[in-house]
Amino acid sequence: MTTLTDAQVRALPKVELHVHVEGAVKPATIADLARRNGVDLGVADLAELYHYRDLTDFLRVFDLVCRSLRTADDLHRVTFEALAIAAAAGVRRREMFFSPTFLMRHGVAFDEIWRGIAAGVRDAEAEHDIACRMILDVHKPAGPGAALELIELAAGCDRDLLIGIGGDAGETGIDLLAFAPAFEHARRLGFRTTMHLGEEGPASDIATGVHVLGLDRIDHGATLIDDPQLLAEVVDRQIALTVCPTSNVSIGIVESIAAHPVQRFIDAGVLVTVNSDNAEMFRVDVADELCALRDAFGWDAEQLRATCLAGVDAAWLDDLERRELRAAFERDIASIIDAGDGRDGDIGLA
C-alpha cells in the first residue's frame, strides 16, 4: 500500500464541484473590501468571525461577507483569487457556485455581479491554467418565484460559462416540492441542476431532489446514509454526491472527519467527490480535505487516485471533454504515484 505525502496529494490533479466563490477568498481580501465599501464586520480579525455554531450561524456570517462585495471589480477580484487558490491546490477544473440573492438584496445589480465573475473566470484561466464553469445558486428560503426570476436572468448570461442551477441556504421549513416547476424550467433552458440537500435536512429531502426535482447531483447529501433504499438508487443511477467533510464538521453536522459517512458512501459504490465548500471560511482547500480523509480513513494512493477520477466522472462535461480530461488525469496521477514509489525521483510538483 502506497501512502502519499501532503505534497504529493497537493500535486494530484483535481476537479472541484462544490465551492462558493463568496466564501473562497482570503480573509484579508474581505477585510479590505469591507473597509473600502464601508461595511462593519464587527471584528478586528476575520479569524474571529470565521467560527460557526451551526448552519444558521454560518449563513449569518456568509451574508456579512457578501455585503462587502459591491461592484463588478469586487466580484472580479474575489473570483480571480478563489481560482488562483484552487489552482495552487491542484484543481484543474472547478464548477463554482455564486449566490446572487445575497448581493442583490443589498442593492447590487445582477448584471454587475455576472460581469465581474465572468471577467474573473477568464483572467484566472489565462493566468493560472484552471478551467471554471459557474453554477447559479437560487436561495431556497426566498421561494420558487424568486428562483424562477433568477433562472430567467441566468438564461441571458454566457451559457458556455454559466452551465448549472443549484440551490443554497438552509433546508429547515423549505417546501422543496414547490421548486419543481422552477427546476423543470431550468432543464428546458439546458441547465444542469443540483441542490444543497441532506446537510441539515433528512434523507427524504434528498429523495425529493432525486424523484421530483430531477437533480443531476446532490450537494452534501450526508443524511443519505439514513435511507438504504435511496442510497441503493443513488448508486444504481450514479448520481454524484459533492461531499464537504470539513464544512460539515465546522457547522456541527458531524462530530469529526472520521465520523463523516464519506467512507461508507464509497464502500457502497456512490459516486463521491470531495470538495472544500467555502474554502477560506473553513480554512481549507481541496488538497487539505483529501489529506484529512487520508489520515482519518487510511486512504492509500489508489483511493486518492479513484477520488480524483470520480471528480472527472461527476463533472458536467461532454463525452470528448471527459475522455480527454480523464486521460490527462490518469497520466499525471500515475507520474506522481510512481515518483512517490521512488521510481522517478523527486516529483518536482507543488
- Per-residue pLDDT, 345: 39
Residue 126 one-letter amino acid: A
Q: How far is CA 39 from CA 1, 16, 106, 233, in A?
A: 52, 31, 12, 47
pLDDT band at 87 (very low <50, low <70, confident <90, very high): very high
- Interatomic CA distance for residues 75 and 22, integer angstroms: 9
* 57 pLDDT tier (thresholds 50, 70, 90): confident
Given a contact cutoff of 8 angstroms between Cβ atoms, the answer to whether 96 and 132 are in contact is: yes
Confidence of residue 154 (pLDDT cuts 50, 70, 90): very high
Average pLDDT, whole number, for the chain? 93
pLDDT digits (tens, 9 = 90+) for 189-242: 999 999 999 998 999 999 999 999 999 999 999 999 999 999 999 999 999 999
- What are the pLDDT digits (tens) for 281-317? 889 999 999 999 999 999 999 999 999 999 999 999 9
What grid cell was written down for 193? 441542476
Pick from 226, 247, 248, 228: which is nearest to 236 by CA?
228
Angle in degrees, CA 141, 146, 150, rounded to 5: 120
- 316: number of Cβ within 10 Å: 19
In whole angstroms, what is the distance from residue 249 CA to residue 233 CA?
26
Q: What is the pLDDT of residue 118?
A: 98
Residue indicated by cell numbers 471528480? 311
SS (H, E, C) the chain: CCCCCHHHHHHCCEEECCEEHHHCCCHHHHHHHHHHCCCCCCCCCHHHHCCCCCHHHHHHHHHHHHHCCCCHHHHHHHHHHHHHHHHHCCEEEEEEEECHHHHHCCCCCHHHHHHHHHHHHHHHHHHHCCEEEEEEEEEHHHCHHHHHHHHHHHHCCCCCCEEEEEEECCCCCCCHHHHHHHHHHHHHCCCEECCEECCCCCHHHHHHHHHCCCCCEEEECHHHHHCHHHHHHHHHHCCEEEECHHHHHHCCCCCCHHHCCHHHHHHHCCCEEECCECCHHHCCCHHHHHHHHHHHHCCCHHHHHHHHHHHHHHCCCCHHHHHHHHHHHHHHHHHHHHHHCCCCCCCCCC
Confidence check: pLDDT of 171 > 90: no
pLDDT reading at 321 higher than 90? yes
Q: What is the mean pLDDT of residues 160-166?
A: 98
CATH number of 6-340: 3.20.20.140
| Sign of the Cα pseudo-torsion (45, 51, 52, 58, in order) | positive
- pTM reported for the whole predicted model: 0.93
Mean pLDDT of 2-9: 95
**Under 8 Å between Cβ of 233 and 203:** no
Position 341 scores a pLDDT of 61
Segment 249-272, tens digit of pLDDT: 998 999 999 999 999 999 999 999
Digit-coded pLDDT (tens) for 101-147: 989 999 999 999 999 999 999 999 999 999 999 999 999 999 999 99
Known catalytic residues are 199
Task: Look at residue 201 in the predicted model and tell me its pLDDT.
Answer: 94
Q: Sorting pLDDT into bands at 50, 70 and 90, what band is 344?
A: very low
CB 226 within 8 A of CB 256: no
Band of the pLDDT at 348, cuts 50, 70, 90? Answer: very low
pLDDT of residue 340: 65
Assess whether pLDDT exceeds 60 at residue 343.
Answer: no
